[in-house]
Amino acid sequence: MTVTGQASDQLAPVPRHQWPRCLLALDSREIRAAAEQFEETFRIEDVQLPQSGLALMKIRDGALGERYFPGEIPLATARVRIILEDGTQAEGAAQVMDDRASLARAIAVLDAVLANQLSGHGRIFPLLQKGRKILADQATERKALLETTRVNFSPLGESEEDDDA
């Protein structure tokens, strides 16, 4: 998904690889509240205990193509299993740039519900769309920083107002 702010984007479903980003754009209380609703409905177990810590970020330098670490980033991870009344199991997980393991767990719960289309998953769609709208607005603002400062070079003396281009 590219966050362009186009109306058509707002109607398209949000792909799974963008769920965490869209959810992180929201107030964390909204995410927690949505996850808590499912906690009340389903039996949810931690496959791995939620953790928060750091990840060492690796990039590739633009000169010689060597890899190096410019520093670390916060990271929270969680992996959950939802067990339905008939014994069916559905897993979800999340890795997000955040300090809060509990928030990662809430996103993992929503990931499990959405990915497996469990009962009530439709309640998460508006959250994703809202997050996507926030990100689209953010992208628009960033592009405005570029668009309003675009340099239009022209040879000196070619136009009457040389410096206005």
The nearest distance, CB 37 to other proteins, in angstroms, is 22
Dihedral angle sign, alpha carbons of residues 120, 124, 129, 133: positive
- Residues lying near other proteins in the complex (CB under 8 A) are found at 2-5, 16-21, 24, 51-75, 77, 79, 91-99, 115, 139-147, 149-151, 153
10: left (phi over 0), alpha (psi -120 to 50) or beta: alpha
- Nearer Cβ to other proteins (73/83): 73
Surface-to-core class of residue 23, CB atoms within 10 Å of its CB (0-12 exposed, 13-18 middle, 19+ buried): buried
| Closer to other proteins by Cβ: residue 25 or 34 | 25
Q: CB of residue 47 vs other proteins: minimum separation in angstroms?
A: 9
Euclidean distance between CA atoms 59 and 63, whole angstroms: 12
CB of 85 to other proteins, least distance (A): 23
Judged by CB, which is closer to other proteins: 10, or 40? 10
Q: How far is the CB of 121 from other proteins (least distance, A)?
A: 16
Q: In this structure, what are the phi and psi dihedrals at residue 109, rounded to the nearest 5 degrees?
A: -65, -45
Of 14 and 34, nearer to other proteins (C-beta) is 14
Pair of tokens at residue 149: 């400062």
